[in-house]
C-alpha cells in the first residue's frame, strides 16, 4: 500500500489494481496446463467472463503480432523487475507468447462457440483474431512466394543481374559469363 497521500491517490490505486489484475491473468495464462484440465474449467465461465477472456486473448494476440515478440517480452520483464523492487513482492509473471494465447483461444472457442458466435462482440473479436492470423500467414507467404520466384528465375536462368561491381557469388558469375 501507498504511504504518501496526494491528490493522485485514488488514481494511483486503481492503476495499481488493474496492473495486479493484468499480472494475474498473464500468470494464469502462462501456467502449465493441459486441455483436459482447461476444458471443464473454462466451461464454467459465464457469458461476461467468456467475452472478457476473449477480449484479453485477442488484444494480446494483436499486440504480439504488431511488434517483435522477443523484444516485447524483454521489455515487459524489465518493467516487472523494476515494479517488484518497488513493491517488495516477487512475481513470476511473464508475457504469454503467441502459441500460448492460441491454445487458450482454441479451447475457449471449443467450449463456448455458441456464446461467442451469438454475441456481436464475440463475432467482432473473432474477426479481429482472424485478421491477425491472416496477415501473419500472408506476410509469411509473401516471403515464401518471393523466394519461390527467385528460385524459379535461377532455374530458368532469367535472373537479372543489376550489380556493376564484380559479383561475389558463383551463380552470378556463371550468368555474366
Burial of 170 (0-12, 13-18, 19+ CB in 10 A): exposed
> Any idea which residue has 511473464 for its cell?
94
Question: Can you give the pLDDT of all 177 residues of the chain as single tens digits?
Answer: 544 444 555 556 666 676 777 777 878 888 888 878 888 889 999 999 999 999 999 999 998 888 877 888 888 778 777 766 666 555 556 778 888 899 999 999 999 999 999 999 999 999 999 998 888 888 777 777 887 787 877 777 766 666 566 656 666 556 655
Q: CA–CA separation, 51 vs 94, rounded Å?
A: 23
Of 59, 65, 61, 45, the C-alpha closest to 108 is 45
Q: CA–CA separation, 66 vs 64, rounded Å?
A: 6
3-state helix, strand, coil in the chain (%, to 5): 75, 0, 25
- The dihedrals phi and psi of 6, each to the nearest 5 degrees, come to -135, 180
Greatest Cα-to-Cα distance within the chain, rounded to the nearest angstrom: 80
Q: CA–CA separation, 29 vs 100, rounded Å?
A: 7
User: Which pLDDT does position 96 carry in this prediction?
Assistant: 85
Q: Is 120 helix (H, G, I), strand (E, B) or coil?
A: helix
User: Which pLDDT does position 52 carry in this prediction?
Assistant: 93
Q: CA–CA separation, 117 vs 50, rounded Å?
A: 12
Q: CA–CA separation, 69 vs 63, rounded Å?
A: 9
User: Which pLDDT does position 166 carry in this prediction?
Assistant: 60
Q: What is the DSSP string of 5-66?
A: --TTHHHHHHHHHHHHHHHHHHHHHHS---HHHHHHHHHT--HHHHHHHHHHHHHHHHHHHH
Yes or no: say if 51 and 125 are a contact pair by the CB < 8 Å rule.
Answer: yes
User: Which pLDDT does position 66 carry in this prediction?
Assistant: 83
Yes or no: say if 114 and 123 are a contact pair by the CB < 8 Å rule.
Answer: no
Amino acid at each position: 500500500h501507498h504511504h504518501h497521500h496526494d491528490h493522485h491517490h485514488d488514481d494511483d490505486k486503481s492503476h495499481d489494481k488493474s496492473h495486479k489484475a493484468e499480472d494475474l491473468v498473464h500468470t494464469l495464462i502462462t501456467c502449465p496446463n493441459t486441455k483436459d484440465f482447461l476444458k471443464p474449467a473454462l466451461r464454467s465461465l459465464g457469458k461476461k467472463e467468456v467475452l472478457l477472456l476473449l477480449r484479453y486473448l485477442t488484444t494480446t494476440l494483436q499486440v504480439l503480432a504488431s511488434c517483435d515478440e522477443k523484444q516485447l517480452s524483454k521489455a515487459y520483464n524489465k518493467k516487472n523487475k523494476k515494479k517488484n523492487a518497488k513493491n517488495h513482492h516477487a512475481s513470476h509473471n511473464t508475457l504469454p507468447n503467441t502459441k500460448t494465447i492460441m491454445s487458450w483461444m482454441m479451447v475457449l472457442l471449443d467450449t463456448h462457440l455458441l456464446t461467442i458466435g451469438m454475441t456481436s462482440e464475440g463475432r467482432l473479436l473473432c474477426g479481429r483474431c482472424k485478421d491477425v492470423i491472416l496477415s501473419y500467414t500472408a506476410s509469411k507467404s509473401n516471403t515464401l512466394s518471393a523466394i519461390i520466384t527467385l528460385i524459379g528465375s535461377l532455374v530458368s536462368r532469367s535472373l537479372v543481374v543489376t550489380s556493376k561491381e564484380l559479383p561475389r557469388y558463383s551463380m552470378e558469375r556463371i550468368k555474366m559469363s
